[in-house]
Structure 1
Amino acid sequence: MDNLSNYFGQNINQKRIVVTGGTTGIGKAIAKLLVSLGGRVFVFGRDENDLNGALEVIKAKSFSGEILGISADITQKDDIDLIWNKVDNAFGGIDILVNNAALPARGIIEGNYEDWKYILETNVLGYIAFAKEAVNRMKVQKSGHIINIGSMSAEVKEKTGVIYVSTKTAIRGFSTALRKEINPLGIKVSHIEPGAVTSDMQEDSKEVQKEKIVSMEMLEAEDIAMSVLFCLSQPKRCDVVSMQIRPHLQII
């Protein structure tokens, strides 16, 4: 095998990449890693302060890649159109899409119709809408890679998170079927299901999350970023179809 540094960077350098929900947590870690390897990355999120913070942190590293972004809501069609106009103008297309934007949700006893509608539009329709736009562009060049970030909830199906479980189970099925549809077009699809990861979605405080990392009960966002990199680094003949990443002591 060639030098591993070349292996992990060969499919990233100068690639045009969109990371949904790329301003915090897993998305931010993914964007940071891919920019460090020369990727040209576009991110967005709903909170402008989070966006500015992410752009500042990544740009400050003086990486060889490029980071751009705007504040936008994945549930708004006008915002979706704006994002893709920005991507087309800046990059002239897309090579890699990382579908990551998602919101937490609890059981069916809590919440109401409008809450659930917004969650579903973010966690499911958002993935579908961005995959559609990516495929429209990738099929012309007969190449591309879509990575859908799912969750272990699709397997565990915890009773305390019925709504969230529903969305992540949908993403598991969507990823499987999507690969069958677009692989003949030269487009790869990978599905990654993390276990417990430090993020703002966790109910535990930052201090407790840090303790759980030390005790191997929780992952860091960078662990998932490395999993994404592994999927993207495979040769064209090789698809990483599904991957589950869990803390060592999170027994499911």
Structure 2
Amino acid sequence: MEDFNSYFSSAFLGKKIMITGGSTGIGRATAILLSSLGAKCLICGRHSEQVDETLAAIEAKNRYDAIGTVVDLSAKDDVADFFRVADEQLGGLDILINNAALGYGSILEGNYEDWQYILNTNLLAYMACSKEAISRFEGKGKGQIINIGSMSADVREQNSSVYVATKSAIQGFSESLRKEVNALGVKVSLIEPGAVDTDMQEAPQEEKLEQIENQEMLRAEDIAWAVAFCIAQPPACDVVDLKIRPHLQII
């Protein structure tokens, strides 16, 4: 293999990548980074203002453009719409990054409809998007799915039982799915971050910046680099499970 710098700089060129939840937080940072490295990214979000702002940020920072669409992946028709845009405007698919997720607290809060929406977004959308992606990978002998999970799958914090349930499910789903699609040449990677400065963290921004300074919280850009690391592996190498936590976050 050529030297690392040459390999890394070419690993993203022309790659067609779908990023769910690509208009905020980790998804936004990932779209900006991968576009700067030469990938063609399609992002989605629930709010047009956030999608447009992210596309503008990509255009301002990079010489490569990106595509965006407004969908709510809790609905099966919107999942279909997202992949229809990919087929029509992305022109193929190399990598799916399942990232869209919503925070939620305890099962003692809310009602059935509230929990159903969270499960549809945090779990069922991962499954549905993975199925759609795999159908496009089949016959190519390659493809990659990167699932963004959470440390909550292992830590299982109190007063977070609904969110913990979804992220624990993503952990199991990723492990089993990898065994199912490995023979097709499809890679499956699971990234489980610790605390990250995203909209899901409800603390004031000043407090989050202090936590970042104290190495108790990561930036969204840190997880974007973890995604890039998974993508840049040689063909025979799979990053199966990557846990990335702030140095001084007590877990």
CA contact (8 A) 2:58 2:65 kept: no
Q: Does 1:191 align with 2:193?
A: no
CA contact (8 A) 1:27 1:100 kept: yes
Aligned to 2:155: 156
Q: Tell me the C-alpha RMSD between the 2 structures.
A: 1.0
Aligned to 2:38: 38
CA contact (8 A) 1:38 1:66 kept: no
Aligned to 2:121: 122
Quote the Cα distance in structure 1 between the aligned partners of 2:224 and 2:244.
11
Aligned to 1:21: 21
Aligned to 1:204: 203
Deviation at 1:3, TM superposition (A): 3.9
Number of paired residues? Answer: 251
Quote the Cα distance in structure 2 between the aligned partners of 1:111 and 1:236.
45
Amino acid paired to 1:118: Y
Deviation at 1:156, TM superposition (A): 0.2
Q: How does 1:159-238 map to 2 (within 5 A)?
A: 159-238=158-237
Deviation at 1:80, TM superposition (A): 1.4
Deviation at 1:250, TM superposition (A): 0.7
Aligned to 2:5: 5
SS at match of 1:190: strand
Quote the Cα distance in structure 2 between the aligned partners of 1:106 and 1:76.
22
Deviation at 1:203, TM superposition (A): 1.6
Quote the Cα distance in structure 2 between the aligned partners of 1:95 and 1:14.
9
> TM-score normalized by structure 2?
0.97
Q: Does 1:50 align with 2:34?
A: no
Query: Which ranges of structure 1 fall in alignment gaps of 5 or more residues?
Result: none
Amino acid paired to 1:133: E
Task: Report the CA distance shift for 1:149/1:8 in structure 2 as closer, same or farther (over 3 A).
Answer: same
Quote the Cα distance in structure 2 between the aligned partners of 1:62 and 1:227.
20
CA contact (8 A) 2:42 2:90 kept: no
Quote the Cα distance in structure 2 between the aligned partners of 1:62 and 1:189.
28
Deviation at 1:108, TM superposition (A): 1.2
Deviation at 1:82, TM superposition (A): 1.4
Deviation at 1:160, TM superposition (A): 1.4
CA distances 1:145-203 after superposition (whole Å, capped 9, x unpaired): 10000000000000110000000000000000000000100000000000000011002
Identity of aligned residues (%): 52
Quote the Cα distance in structure 1 between the aligned partners of 2:169 and 2:192.
13
SS at match of 1:236: coil
CA contact (8 A) 1:154 1:168 kept: yes
Quote the Cα distance in structure 2 between the aligned partners of 1:219 and 1:5.
25
Aligned to 1:60: 60
> TM-score normalized by structure 1?
0.97
